[in-house]
Amino acid sequence: APERVKLSYVSLDRASAQADATAPDTQTLRELFDQNRSQFGEAERRSGGQLRVAIEGDGSAARETIQQLAAAEGDLETRAEQAEGAEYRPIDEAQQGDLPSAVGQSLFELGEGETSTPVKGDDGWYLVALESVTPATTPEFDDPDVQAQLKAIASAQQAQQAFADKSERLESLAYEAPNDLKTLADELGLEIQTTDWITREQGPGIGQYDAIRKAAFSDAVIKDELNSTPIQLGAERRVVLRVAEHEPAKRKPLEAVRNEVRERLIARKASQKAREAAQAALAQAQSGDGLDRLAADGGPSVEDAGYVRRSSRDIDARISEAAFNVSQPSEDEPRYRVTATGDGRIALVAVDGVREASGEDVQTPRAQFAQQQQRYISRLEYATLSDYLRSQTDVEINEDRLN
C-alpha cells in the first residue's frame, strides 16, 4: 500500500478573513459617497448636431470648406447641403464620452442655441451646435439604492483589506508558531479542519491539489513534524497544513495479491516458453520449412503483409521494426527474426523481398533525409505464434511456492 497521510489545516479566504468585520459607519459611507459621486445617478447629457468635412490630402480643401460653412447662414443640416463632401449627423442625449474627443469637448462648452467655430478632429473638421441640455442627476446620500451600493463598496474594500492583512499575519505565524495550528486558528479566527487519507498521487478535498500533496510529503512536514509554509490555492485562498496521521508505504499481505501474483507468474512463464518455442520455430524455418509449413495442421496463423514502408501504420510497429532490421534477403532465401508485438504476443517475421524506394514514395519536404533512412521497402509475412505456442506447452504454477 502506498505511503499516505491525514492532514490538519487552516484555510484563509476572503469570506473567512471578513468573518469578524463590522458594518461600515456613516462617516465611512459619506466619504465613499463623495469619492464616487459620479457612479450614482445620471451624468449630464446634451443634444444638437455636428457637421463634418473629411480631411484629404494636405487638408487645405477641407479647411477652406469648413470656413465657408462656418460663415454661412442656417442650421448645420442646411449648411451641409451647400457643400460637396460635408456630412451632418444629429446628436441625441449624448454624454461627453460618447462623442469624438474634439466634438464632445466643444459641445459641452457651448451654451444652448450656440454653434461652435471650426474644430479640428483626428479625421476631419467639425462645426458643432447645441440645442438642449439634460442636467446631471445625483440622488441624495440617504437614498436606499445609494446606501445599498455604498455598503457593497465598503464591504468589498473591507474584505480585500482584511484578506491582505490576515494573509500577511498568516505568513508570519507559520514561522513563529511552527509546531501547531491552534495559534494560527485562534489569532486569525480560523477553524482547524481535517482531511481523509491522501497519497502522493491523489486525495479528496484539498488533497486534489498538487501543491497540497507536495507540501504534505515534504521532509519538513513529514520528518520534522512542522507546519507547512502558506500554500496559495487560487488568487484568494491560503492554506497552512500539518500531518495528523502518517502511514509509511507497506507491502500488501500475500492473500490480498495471491491472484495477481499467480496471473503474473503464469504470464511470465508462458511468455518464456513461447519465446523458446519461437526460437525453435525460427530454426525450423531457416532449415527450409517456411511459415506455410509451420501453419499447417492447426499451427500459428500466418499473415502476408506484402510490401510495406518503414512508416506504414497498417502493421504492428515492432513487426515493422524487426523487418527493417534484418539483412537483405536473397532471391530464394528469406530472412527471419523473432519479436514481441506491441500487445505482448510473439511473432516470427519473414522478409522475402526488397524493393528500392521510388521517387513516388517520397513526397514530403524532408524527402532526401527520408530516402537516406528508408533505403528499401520490404515484402514480409509473419506468424503470430503466442496463442499457438502456448496451446502446445504446459505451464504449471507450484502453489506451495506462493506461501
One domain, residues 298 and 375: yes
Q: What CA–CA distance (Å, rounded) separates 138 from 40?
A: 6
Q: What's the CATH number where 91 sits?
A: 3.10.50.40
How many C-beta atoms surround the C-beta of residue 47 within 10 A? 17
pLDDT in tens, 74-117: 999 999 999 988 999 999 999 999 999 999 999 999 999 999 99
Q: Are 232 and 165 within one domain? A: yes
Confidence of residue 373 (pLDDT cuts 50, 70, 90): very low
Which alpha helices (DSSP H) does 296-385 contain, by range?
317-323, 367-373
Task: Considering only CA atoms, give the Rg of the chain.
Answer: 42
> How do residues 165-222 score in pLDDT, each as one tens digit?
888 999 899 888 999 999 999 999 899 999 999 999 999 999 999 999 999 999 999 9
User: Model confidence over 131-140: pLDDT tens digits?
Assistant: 999 998 888 8
Helix or strand or coil: residue 385?
coil
Quick check: is 402 in a domain?
no
Element (H, E) at 188: helix 182-188
- In which band, very low, low, confident or very high, does the pLDDT at 20 lie, cut at 50, 70 and 90? low
Domain identity same for 207 and 284: no
Q: Which of 103, 134, 165 corresponds to the end of one domain?
A: 134
Does residue 255 belong to any structural domain of this protein? no
Residue with cell 521510388: 358
Count CA within 13 A, CB hemisphere, residue 95.
8
Same domain for 16 and 163, yes or no, is yes
Tell me the one-letter amino acid at 99: L
> Are residues 51 and 127 in contact, defined by beta-carbon separation less than 8 angstroms?
yes
Whether the CB-CB separation of 124 and 83 falls below 8 Å is answered with no
Taking each helix axis from N to C end, the angle separating 26-35 and 144-176, rounded to the nearest 10 degrees, works out to 110
Cβ–Cβ < 8 Å for 111, 105: no
The backbone torsions φ and ψ at residue 57, rounded to the nearest 5 degrees and listed phi first, read 60, -130
In a domain, 256, yes or no: no
* 318 shares its domain with 374: yes
Least confident segment among 18-27, 161-170, 256-265, 367-376: 367-376
Say if residue 156's pLDDT is above 70. Answer: yes
Structural domain count of the chain = 3
Residue 42 DSSP label: B
Asked if pLDDT for residue 284 goes beyond 70, the answer is yes
Task: Judge residue 146's burial from the number of C-beta atoms within 10 Å of its C-beta, 0-12 exposed, 13-18 middle, 19 or more buried.
Answer: buried
366: pLDDT strictly greater than 60: no
Tens-place pLDDT, residues 304-352 = 888 888 777 788 888 888 888 887 777 778 888 888 887 777 888 888 8
Of 196, 214, 247, the residue at which a domain comes to its end is 247
CB 197 within 8 A of CB 6: yes
CA 103 to CA 114: how far, in whole Å?
14
Q: How far apart are CA 95 and CA 180, in angstroms?
A: 59
Instruction: Quick: pLDDT tens for 39-51.
Output: 777 888 999 999 9
Q: List alpha helices for 86-181, DSSP H.
A: 101-107, 144-176
Same domain, 297 and 362: yes
- Beta carbons of 43 and 136 less than 8 angstroms apart: yes
Q: Is 333 left (phi over 0), alpha (psi -120 to 50) or beta?
A: beta
371 — pLDDT class (breaks 50, 70, 90): very low
311 assigned to some structural domain: yes
Q: Which of 195, 176, 201, 200 is nearest to 187 (CA)?
A: 176
Is the same domain home to 270 and 383?
Answer: yes
Q: Which residue among 89, 104, 134 closes a domain?
A: 134
Express each pLDDT in 139-150 by its tens digit.
888 888 888 888
Q: Do 177 and 213 lie in a common domain?
A: yes
Q: State the pTM of this model.
A: 0.43
240 and 270, same structural domain?
no
**289 in the same domain as 383:** yes
Is the alpha carbon torsion for 89, 94, 98, 103 positive or negative? positive
The answer to whether residue 353 scores a pLDDT higher than 50 is: yes
| CA–CA distance, 196 with 247 (Å, rounded to integer) | 13
Task: Give the three-class secondary structure for 307.
Answer: strand
**Is residue 222 within 8 Å of residue 5, measured between CB atoms?**
yes
Q: Strand 301-308 to strand 237-247: parallel, antiparallel, or no bridges (unpaired)? A: unpaired
Nine cell digits for residue 260: 495477481
Range of the domain at 90: 45-134
* Mean predicted lDDT score pLDDT of the chain: 82
